[in-house]
Structure 1
Amino acid sequence: MIIERVGEVDYKLDFPEELEGIHSTFHVSHMRKCIADETSHLPLIDIEVDEQLNYIEKHVEVVDHKEKQLLHKTIPLVKVIWKHRKGSDATCEVKEEMHKFYPDLFK
């Protein structure tokens, strides 16, 4: 919820107590209209963040492999299912990058 307007394009938000370590003032370009939908509620207990307070996404499994043909090269892709991802549960990622950051997916 917006508490107050700070300057011309910045707003201070009211966060729950669990999020007290997060800076509460945001530029208007980082805000989106939110219509509460109880089915999309994600309990804060299930969310993990790193020391810079970045959201940590957890991969579940690779469900498909394919190749994208460009003009002079082919890029291997994998379809990955993610836990706690808003919107689609699966994304296509570059296989080489996924193998570098998540080698346990390919064992």
Structure 2
Amino acid sequence: MKRVMRFGKKGKLSLRYIGPYRIAKRIDNVAYELELPQELAAVHPVFHISMLKKCLGDPSLILLTESVRIKDNLSYEEIPVQILDHQVRKLRTKDVASVKVL
């Protein structure tokens, strides 16, 4: 069975999963060891079941690891594609600008 791994920030429009990766072995009722590729060698391969999702074959939910570009310190950089919405909220003493990007 293949599973995809949760990665990145939770949000309505953000992609959250990378993979799919094959399960190497079941550690416990709630933990699995995955077969990760060489570019994710710095990541510990054992994950809690809440970090995994069954691979249903929906390509819109899955990111390729080449597109994520994970750095040595296990961080990644998000590149905004398009500005979807821009608004300014007026508080009592200041204005707060917010931008929604894709």
TM-score, normalised relative to structure 1? 0.54
Query: What letter corresponds to residue 3 of structure 1 in structure 2?
Result: A
Unaligned runs of 5+ in 2: 1-21
Counting only pairs closer than 5 Å after superposition, residues 85-96 of structure 1 correspond to structure 2 as 90=102
Conserved in 1, the CA contact under 8 Å of 2:88 and 2:95? yes
The reply on whether 1:58 has 2:79 as its aligned counterpart is yes
| Percent identity for Structure 1 against Structure 2 | 33
Higher strand share: 2
Unaligned runs of 5+ in 1: 81-89, 91-107
Counterpart selection for 2:43 from 14, 22, 34: 22
**Residues matched between the structures, number:** 81
The reply on whether 1:78 has 2:99 as its aligned counterpart is yes
Higher helix share: 1
TM-score, normalised relative to structure 2? 0.56
Question: Which one has the largest radius of gyration?
Answer: 1
What SS is found at the alignment partner of 1:54?
A: coil
> Which residue in 2 is equivalent to 1:5?
26
